[in-house]
Amino acid sequence: MVGTEEFQKRIHEEACLLMLGELPLGLESDLVRMFMESFECGIMEDRIPMTPNDTVVREMSFRYGRADIVIFHADGSASVIEAKDGSKGYNHVVSGIGQSALYASQLAMTKGAISKVRKCLMWTSIGSIDADSVIEDSCISAGVVPLPWPSMRELMASLQASRNVVERIQ
């Protein structure tokens, strides 16, 4: 069994090595998967009213497109989340503002008991604090809930470092 201090040191070393080296390419589906895994572990997004009693659906199809994530909340509301990979650039990310609105409006028009539909944009950093700030401000201006995440590179490095440490301990 590895001691806590040694374990933390290994995690830090692995993360440093991965940040400097080649990383597996992250995809928007990886971001969606990480969101789902967080929810399943009880880590809730604090900008939307998530509870363990919510139902989370991946890749929900609509007549005009497919939402990355739709959350049906226990309170009768819903949140439509469009996920974007910031490493693909600013324009790619901001296109998600319109996509989330398109999917949310289609969900709101369905017959059912949905009391309110939130539009949300979840994106990984594009690598510029200023640009990420403009994206967040744009979301707020458009009535879209901003859900910023670290860069895809950081997320993939953390994921790989965790896997490496677990493999070494076992």
pLDDT at site 112: 77
Question: Is 47 strand, coil or helix?
Answer: coil
**Neighbour-count burial of 47, counting CB atoms closer than 10 A to its CB (0-12 exposed, 13-18 middle, 19+ buried):** middle
Q: Does domain 25-150 sit in CATH 3.40.1350?
A: yes
Question: Is 49 strand, coil or helix?
Answer: coil
pLDDT over 50 at 2, yes or no? no
Which of the residue ranges 5-19, 44-58, 74-88, 97-111 would you say has the lowest mean pLDDT?
5-19
For residue 37, how many C-alpha atoms fall within 13 Å in the half-sphere facing its CB?
7
Of 29-33, 66-70, 111-115, give the range with the top mean pLDDT: 66-70
- In this prediction, residue 47 has a pLDDT band, given cuts at 50, 70 and 90, of very high
Comparing C-alpha atoms, which of 117, 29, 33, 102 is closest to residue 71? 117
pLDDT at site 30: 84
The full DSSP string for 71-86 is: EE-TTS-EEEEEEE-G
pTM over 0.75: yes
- In this prediction, residue 38 has a pLDDT band, given cuts at 50, 70 and 90, of confident
Higher pLDDT, 156 or 35: 35
pLDDT tens, 72-98? 999 999 999 999 999 899 999 999 999
**pLDDT, average across residues 126-130:** 92
CB 110 within 8 A of CB 119: no
138 Cβ neighbours under 8 A, 6+ residues apart: 94, 97
SS3 content of the chain, % helix, strand, coil (to 5): 50, 20, 30
